[in-house]
Amino acid sequence: MNKVKYSLFISNAILISILMLNLSVNAQNISINDGGVAPDSSAMLDISSTDKGVLIPRMTAAERLAIVNPANSLLVYQTDGTEGIYIYNNSSNLWQRLSFDSNYDLATVLASGNDANNDTILNLNALAIGQNTPPVSTIQIDSFIVVQGKPFNGFRWFGFNTYYDGVSTNPTYIYDGEAALLGKGNNRLVLGFWNSGVSGSMLSNDASSSIALENNRVVVDGELNDFNIDLRGIVTVDSLSIDGNYGLPKNVGAVNQFLKINNSGDLDWSSTLWRENGTDIFYSSGNVGINNNNPTVHLDLQGNFRLSDGTEGTGKVLVSDANGNASWESNSIYNSITNLNNSSVNPTTTWQTVGPVLTINKVHANSVIEVNVNTSATVSSFGTATAVQFEIRVNGVSSTIDSKAIIRNGLNNHDMIAMMAVFENLPTGSHTVQVYVRSVGGSSTGVLLDSGGFGGAIITKETF
């Protein structure tokens, strides 16, 4: 018996000695390995092996979170709350639960953080929903948000740090001091204290003004005179009603049309009265009245007007050329010649000149030449002629607007003659003016103008 006990003692001693060869003790930390490496200070037991397992410590969540300066990859098994193996990650300073359940609830994982109490998520600095990129704000949602009322009556006000249950079964309020966001049901949204609205509408009220979007129209009502609407960017308006009565036209205008107000106060498209052609502008149709509300011609002016083109002057007249261009011109230009008794002639029935030639210079293209002859005339002998006739010619051509003079045989061989002729459409430049004479019914002799030298003259006037 003693021999057996001794043998067992020897065996145990040898086994303990073998174990002690690979066991190092450092305070309360133990390292078990094949190389004699000291244990990590954060581990109660630091085991290194390639063919053996270990049963790790078991503790509550509070005990796990109370570990000071946990080492990277430190393992514990949590026995309460969400049970399982937890490993510490010093790169994120978080405990992470090892899970192998593919159907595990994400909310459960999020709810099991450092400060988790199983119903509040406090581990996350930011939350992204509907996207796989890091959020840029506390909560970033890349999708539609559906707000559903509390099951109790389906009605709730949301305000600052509080909410208020309502009494309806449809609406949802977001309450903020003097205003609220209200979903009235049937696609209705109300901002501020307002009525129920209609289906598909949005109403807003800030006590002094309101904006309503209902049934595809915009209604703006301001109680204060300084109510303004600020529209920025590109604004497309299909229909705009002002005070329920006046509005912009719904149709699209054409080129060169403009907006005008009709008798009802509405704006409508109208063809422009003035048109442009390059740098020119012209009136397309109708008449223009100045100081005249009933014009009868294209330009009907009542009263004075002023035309200053650099040619104006005292006593000048406004004249037009062949193209209708107006300018100021001198009223009249006179020329004359006396001493008409320079020679006598023996006229036949063919017109011939008598007396001197008056040469004039016509200045204006659109003027006329008036010629007056006042002188005495003498016929030495009528011969076979019954009379001697006189007329005025310019450039040897008579006028259709003239008066001729005549001295008859048997009455008097000496008489006073007075003639006038108007010559139109003469070009500018030099022209000759002269008296022509002929015998009527035969021939005569010794026809002389101003035979006594009593001041007879040929006078021309260029006028308009």
Residue 190 is predicted with a pLDDT of 54
At a CB cut-off of 8 Å and minimum separation 6, what does 455 contact? 338
The whole-model pTM stands at 0.37
> pLDDT band at 316, cuts 50/70/90?
confident
- Please give the DSSP secondary-structure letter assigned to residue 345: B
What percent of the chain clears pLDDT 90, i.e. is strictly above it? Answer: 31
Which residues does residue 78 pair with via DSSP β-bridges, in sequence order? 59, 84
Per residue in 330-376, pLDDT (tens digit) is: 767 899 999 999 989 999 999 999 999 999 999 888 889 999 999 99
Token representation of residue 279: 């740098």
pLDDT for 242? 61
Place of tokens 């509005």: 247
- DSSP string covering 240-257, please? -EETTTEE--SSPP-TTE
Residue 32 DSSP label? E
Which pLDDT tens digit goes with each residue over 165-197?
Answer: 444 444 444 444 434 455 555 555 555 544 444
**Cα three-residue angle 31-32-36, rounded to 5 degrees:** 75
Question: pLDDT tens across 88-98, in order?
Answer: 999 889 999 98
Question: Which of 77-86, 205-214, 227-236 is the least confident region?
Answer: 205-214
- Three-state SS letters, 152-181: CCCCEEEECCEEEECCCCCCEEEEECCEEE
Q: How do beta strands 202-205 and 188-191 pair?
A: parallel
- Environment class of 64 (CB within 10 Å of its CB; exposed 0-12, middle 13-18, buried 19+): buried
Q: Is the pLDDT of residue 110 over 60?
A: no
User: Is residue 164 scored above 50 in pLDDT?
Assistant: no
Q: What region, left, alpha or beta, does residue 229 occupy, with left being phi > 0 and alpha being psi -120 to 50 degrees?
A: beta
What band does 124 get if pLDDT is binned at 50, 70 and 90? low
Calpha distance 179→204 (Å, rounded): 9
- Amino acid present at 231: L
Q: What is the pLDDT of residue 24?
A: 46
The CA distance from 98 to 326, in Å, is: 104
Q: Where are the beta strands (DSSP E) in 27-167?
A: 29-32, 45-47, 58-59, 75-78, 84-89, 94-98, 127-129, 139-141, 156-159, 162-165
Inter-residue contact 316 to 331 (CB < 8 Å):
yes
- Reported as a single tens digit per residue, the pLDDT across 239-269 is 666 665 556 666 777 776 777 777 776 777 7
Q: What structural domains and CATH numbers belong to the chain?
A: 2-115 (no CATH), 146-222 (no CATH), 333-463 (2.60.120.1340)
Q: What is the per-residue pLDDT for 381?
A: 94
Is 60 exceeded by the pLDDT of residue 120?
no
- Sorted by sequence, the CB contacts under 8 Å of residue 221 that are 6+ apart come out as 209, 210, 211, 212
Q: Is the pLDDT of residue 436 over 90?
A: yes
